[in-house]
């Protein structure tokens, strides 16, 4: 009896086990068809999680399938700075088919402030460019596709060029025939050209004569120039700008420079210029008038206990303002070295965004271009800017006598919402006193 009951139970369970096996087989067949349809079907998060979580072997197989194109590497736009959100592709340094090494620049991106390089992360051959010159890109945008195992252009691109050259010769004769057939039709067009130029000459003398369009050029404005224009206009619209002037006798400063310039170069390796003298004078004036070093932020005033002076540098691409950090802790030699280093980077386009960010006060030297006097515009978000000008021999009254002295006009433009006229005049007066008598810096008086 017991054996008969056991056999009956087995017979009852066999259909259930068979059904479960068939169900599992159908599930596997359904899963395999999904894999054959393409890996992109797993891009849906819900479906991919349920299937891959129930079968780990299939998960490993899908990974190997997805890594089929692991030979290809994408070059993307790097991080361009906290205040820079996008840029324009200025030019490509390489062409499709060229060999590139790891960290080698392949394109340049022009931002509002600096020019940034797009480098290749791996060594290989450029297969194609995804973006083109003039496109606006953001950090993370794909620029090029690089193959790590491809052969440079000379090896695998030359055969198609040869075939194209073989196919190219036949079309030119037909094109020449077409040109010859159309050549008599082009002659009357040339005869009509004088007729097109005659109407502008018939205009009445009272109307303004505009230059011909053939003598005009239209080029897109660079991003740096756009940024400069927007910042200058925003500065005029935001600040209540007022400019005060003074003049400085440069006799003692120029004599000091002439007496010690050779020894200064011998010891420090840089020339003693006038800019370092005015930077030290500005530091002394900012310490005496801290409000000039402050800035308005909403309904608050931020006073800075550090002095980072921005120096305006004119380049072929536009005006840039790199920053010399902690000038209150520097001597003349440190300031001169910092100015020379930043000037070289500015002219070569190697300035980084960090080297231009910040700054509490700006000095602009228009005298190097021969400017006699000007009203500089504040560099936002700062509150003031000092303008230096050319040194000119002018008649001055000294001890009741008229003598010729090397004189320079100084201009201080400040935000009148924050800085009153008293502080501005005292600030400029302090610079005048220090420059005319540099011994004040030594004695701190």
Report the pLDDT value the prediction gives residue 411, as an integer from 0 to 100: 97
Contact between 320 and 346 under an 8 Å Cβ cutoff? The reply is yes
Catalytic residue at 71? no
| pTM, full prediction | 0.60
Report the pLDDT value the prediction gives residue 138, as an integer from 0 to 100: 86
Report the pLDDT value the prediction gives residue 284, as an integer from 0 to 100: 95
Query: Cα–Cα distance between 90 and 111 in angstroms, integer?
Result: 9
Report the pLDDT value the prediction gives residue 428, as an integer from 0 to 100: 96
Average pLDDT per block of 10 residues along the chain, 445 residues long: 49 45 45 43 42 38 39 84 77 86 85 79 86 85 84 50 46 48 47 46 52 76 82 89 96 93 93 93 95 94 95 83 93 94 86 86 93 92 95 94 96 96 96 94 85
Name the catalytic one among 98, 117, 416, 437: 416
Helices 45-54, 56-66: axis angle to 10 degrees equals 120
Using a 10 angstrom Cβ sphere, with 0-12 exposed, 13-18 middle and 19 or more buried, the burial of residue 91 is exposed
Report the pLDDT value the prediction gives residue 13, as an integer from 0 to 100: 47
Beta strands at 401-415 and 241-249: parallel, antiparallel or unpaired: antiparallel
Name the catalytic one among 103, 177, 259, 420: 420
Catalytic residue at 420? yes
Cα dihedral value 350, 354, 358, 362, nearest 10:
-20
Report the pLDDT value the prediction gives residue 199, as an integer from 0 to 100: 47
């Amino acid at each position: 009896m017991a054996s008969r009951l056991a056999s009956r139970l087995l017979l009852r369970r066999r259909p259930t086990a068979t059904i479960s096996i068939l169900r599992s087989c159908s599930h596997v067949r359904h899963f395999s068809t999904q894999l054959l349809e393409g890996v992109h079907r797993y891009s849906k998060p819900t479906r991919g999680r349920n299937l891959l979580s129930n079968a780990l072997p299939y998960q490993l197989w899908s990974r190997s399938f997805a890594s089929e194109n692991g030979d290809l590497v994408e070059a993307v736009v790097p991080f361009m700075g906290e205040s820079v959100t996008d840029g324009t592709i200025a030019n490509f340094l390489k062409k499709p088919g060229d060999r590139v090494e790891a960290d080698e620049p392949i394109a340049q991106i022009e931002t509002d402030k600096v020019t940034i390089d797009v480098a290749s992360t791996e060594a290989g051959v450029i297969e194609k460019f995804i973006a083109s010159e003039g496109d606006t890109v953001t950090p993370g945008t794909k620029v090029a596709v690089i193959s790590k195992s491809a052969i440079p252009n000379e090896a695998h691109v030359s055969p198609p060029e040869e075939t194209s050259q073989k196919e190219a010769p036949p079309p030119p004769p037909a094109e020449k025939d077409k040109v010859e057939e159309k050549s008599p039709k082009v002659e009357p067009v040339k005869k009509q050209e004088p007729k097109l130029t005659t109407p502008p000459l018939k205009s009445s003398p009272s109307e303004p004569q505009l230059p011909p369009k053939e003598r005009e050029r239209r080029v897109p404005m660079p991003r740096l120039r756009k940024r400069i224009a927007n910042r200058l206009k925003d500065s005029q619209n935001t600040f209540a700008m007022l400019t005060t002037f003074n003049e400085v006798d440069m006799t003692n400063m120029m004599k000091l420079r002439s007496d010690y310039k050779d020894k200064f170069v011998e010891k420090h390796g840089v020339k003693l210029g006038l800019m370092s003298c005015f930077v030290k004078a500005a530091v002394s004036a900012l310490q005496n008038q801290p409000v000039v070093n402050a800035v308005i932020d909403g309904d608050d005033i931020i006073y800075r206990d550090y002095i980072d002076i921005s120096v305006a540098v004119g380049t072929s691409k536009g005006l840039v303002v790199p920053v010399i950090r902690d000038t209150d802790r520097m001597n003349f030699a440190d300031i001169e070295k910092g100015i020379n280093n930043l000037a070289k980077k500015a002219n070569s386009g190697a300035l980084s965004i960090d080297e231009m960010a910040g700054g509490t006060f700006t000095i602009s030297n228009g005298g190097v271009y021969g400017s006699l006097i000007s009203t500089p515009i504040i560099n936002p978000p700062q509150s003031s800017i000092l303008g230096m000008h050319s040194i000119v021999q002018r008649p001055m009254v000294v001890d009741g006598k008229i003598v010729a002295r090397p004189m320079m006009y100084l201009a201080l433009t400040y935000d009148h919402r924050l800085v009153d006229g008293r502080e501005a005049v005292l600030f400029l007066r302090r610079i005048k006193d220090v420059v005319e008598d540099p011994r004040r810096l030594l004695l701190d008086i």
